[in-house]
Chains A and B, each alone.
Chain A
Amino acid sequence: MISVSGVRKSFGAATVLNGVDLEIRQGEVVSVLGSSGSGKSTLIRCINGLEKIDAGKITVDNFDVSKPRELSEARKRSGTVFQLFNLYPHMTAVQNVALAPVEVLKVPRKQAEAEARELLKSVGLSDRADAYPSQLSGGQRQRVGICRALAMKPSYLLLDEVTSALDPEMTSEVLSILAKLAKGGTTMVFVTHEIEFARSISTRIAFLDKGTLIADLPTEEFFSDKGMALPRVAQFLSKMRKD
């Protein structure tokens, strides 16, 4: 379980997370929605320890991410996929995927690379496995990014606006993979602007507004009268649908 309780985070004078509580259990797909600047990405960055929280507590399977010793255990349990892919530019797709299993989990290189090829095959990239990031399209890069996170066999997948840098065609190729993963039971925290997609794959929706979690509801309830009863949610949904 990922447990976020009373988390506060400020950058200088700007409060980005203002006392957030959220729990994500195994098997759930939780989409985090909210307008830009609402703190969605920061929440993910706090869970994987890239940002230090000012107050509160975050644990991943009971490992406290604010303690350096426990952070490495917490990080082994979660995989992150980034908006801008962040692939290692000097390594091929296979090398990108196999690096952490070899270095962190001590999997023999040959085995790790064979598993990496299997993963890449599962996202339709078997023929691009030996290409470098600069030789791949955005959608292909993000699929490699997903494989890199999955290679560590994480209990939780953290997805930080993974399709925001992609055009509609590439977005759909990435989303179809995520849908497959969700169906397969992968636990996900999905920060996104893809509302309709979030609705189709999520078990729960968390809605952040100016650093405060103003809704945390099962998906059907969020998109029904109950969610609409919240003025900020209703406003956000109607605006997003108009666009």
Chain B
Amino acid sequence: MKFDLSILAKHIPFLLEGAWLTLQACTLAVIGSLVLGLAVGAMRTSASPLLNRLAAVYVDIFRNIPFIVQLFFFYFGLPEIGIYIDAFTTGVVALSIAGGAFTSDVIRSGILAIDPGVIEAAQVSGLKKSTIFRRIILPIALRASIRPLGSVFVNLILTSSILSTITLNELTGSAKIVASNTFRPFEVYFVLLVAYAALTYTVSILIGMLHRHLNRHQAEGAV
């Protein structure tokens, strides 16, 4: 067998469409899981035992079930009880919920790592709880969490390939189609491999830049 990428030339627009879909789904899921993770992370560090418990149950459930099972439940299971959601929305929601469980854990440790004295200083100066969360806790926790969040997001991108199992022709899905049409799985999956590596590597680099930018003043060994 000869390794020949040129035979893929006419399939490039189709593959790019798939890549674009992956990009859209991942962007939305990153935002979704971040929002969810912030809310749940805050709940897990709150003084209310009820919120705390609820958040812990959510995290435990979604971290301990294979993503593909969650996805099948949403896409093939829910219609049985009359809930129909299109494949793209299902994919984004499922990725956000699953990602949110991991994101919340990272945010939670970021919050717990904050020097309690800093929060006390904010309390005695009369700031409201919500203001303390918005202006002190969140910015400090996020700065400390950028790198671990990056790993969660990279994982989320890798996991998005599973969306191909619910008829979504994202990058992996469209590659599967091209592979079966051309009978050239070696070349097709080689390209797929490179595409995912490039995508996640770019995200890692961006995360590193963001981390350095946000922490540029903390470098000199703060107290």
Contacts from A to B (Cβ < 8 Å)? 48-50, 72, 75-76, 78-80, 82, 84-90, 99-100, 103-104, 132-135, 141, 148-149, 152
CB distance from B105 to the nearest CB of A (A): 22
CB distance from B140 to the nearest CB of A (A): 6
Contacts from B to A (Cβ < 8 Å)? 115, 117-118, 120-128, 131, 135-136, 139-140, 143, 217-223
Evaluate contact between B218 and A134: CB separation under 8 angstroms: yes
In the bound complex, residues from chain B placing their C-beta under 8 Å from that of A50 are 120, 123-124
The CA of A87 and the CA of B219, in the complex, are separated in Å by: 16
The CA of A133 and the CA of B127, in the complex, are separated in Å by: 20
The CA of A100 and the CA of B115, in the complex, are separated in Å by: 19
In the bound complex, residues from chain B placing their C-beta under 8 Å from that of A80 are 121, 124-125
Evaluate contact between B125 and A134: CB separation under 8 angstroms: no
The CA of A206 and the CA of B9, in the complex, are separated in Å by: 86
Partner of A89, one of B118, B126, B131: B118
In the bound complex, residues from chain A placing their C-beta under 8 Å from that of B124 are 48-50, 75, 78-80
The CA of A52 and the CA of B117, in the complex, are separated in Å by: 16
In the bound complex, residues from chain A placing their C-beta under 8 Å from that of B136 are 88
Evaluate contact between B217 and A132: CB separation under 8 angstroms: yes
Which chain A residue has the least Cβ–Cβ distance from B131?
A103
Evaluate contact between A88 and B126: CB separation under 8 angstroms: no
Which chain B residue has the least Cβ–Cβ distance from A72?
B126
The CA of A26 and the CA of B85, in the complex, are separated in Å by: 67
- Say whether, besides A86-B118, A86-B120, A88-B118, A79 and B140 are in contact (CB < 8 Å): no
Evaluate contact between A88 and B122: CB separation under 8 angstroms: yes
- Say whether, besides A82-B117, A87-B118, A99-B135, A134 and B217 are in contact (CB < 8 Å): yes
CB distance from A39 to the nearest CB of B (A): 18
Evaluate contact between B125 and A99: CB separation under 8 angstroms: yes
The CA of A182 and the CA of B144, in the complex, are separated in Å by: 40
The CA of A90 and the CA of B221, in the complex, are separated in Å by: 13
The CA of A149 and the CA of B128, in the complex, are separated in Å by: 16
The CA of A141 and the CA of B121, in the complex, are separated in Å by: 14
Which 6 residue pairs of A and B lie closest in terms of their CB atoms, listed nearest first? A132-B217, A134-B222, A86-B121, A100-B125, A86-B117, A104-B126
Partner of B223, one of A48, A72, A76, A85: A85
A-B contact pairs, 5 of them (CB 8 A): A48-B124, A79-B124, A79-B125, A88-B118, A133-B222
The CA of A75 and the CA of B221, in the complex, are separated in Å by: 31
The CA of A79 and the CA of B97, in the complex, are separated in Å by: 43
The CA of A66 and the CA of B136, in the complex, are separated in Å by: 24
The CA of A76 and the CA of B219, in the complex, are separated in Å by: 34
In the bound complex, residues from chain B placing their C-beta under 8 Å from that of A152 are 125-126
Which chain B residue has the least Cβ–Cβ distance from A81?
B121
Evaluate contact between A76 and B126: CB separation under 8 angstroms: yes
The CA of A76 and the CA of B125, in the complex, are separated in Å by: 7
The CA of A88 and the CA of B143, in the complex, are separated in Å by: 13
Evaluate contact between B127 and A134: CB separation under 8 angstroms: no
The CA of A134 and the CA of B221, in the complex, are separated in Å by: 7
In the bound complex, residues from chain A placing their C-beta under 8 Å from that of B217 are 90, 132, 134-135
Evaluate contact between A90 and B143: CB separation under 8 angstroms: yes
In the bound complex, residues from chain B placing their C-beta under 8 Å from that of A84 are 117, 223
CB distance from A106 to the nearest CB of B (A): 12
Evaluate contact between A89 and B222: CB separation under 8 angstroms: yes
CB distance from A74 to the nearest CB of B (A): 9
Evaluate contact between A100 and B140: CB separation under 8 angstroms: no
Evaluate contact between B126 and A132: CB separation under 8 angstroms: no
CB distance from B51 to the nearest CB of A (A): 19
In the bound complex, residues from chain B placing their C-beta under 8 Å from that of A82 are 117, 120-121
- Say whether, besides A133-B222, A134-B218, A90 and B140 are in contact (CB < 8 Å): yes
CB distance from B173 to the nearest CB of A (A): 42
Evaluate contact between B140 and A103: CB separation under 8 angstroms: no
The CA of A88 and the CA of B124, in the complex, are separated in Å by: 13
In the bound complex, residues from chain A placing their C-beta under 8 Å from that of B126 are 72, 75-76, 100, 104, 152
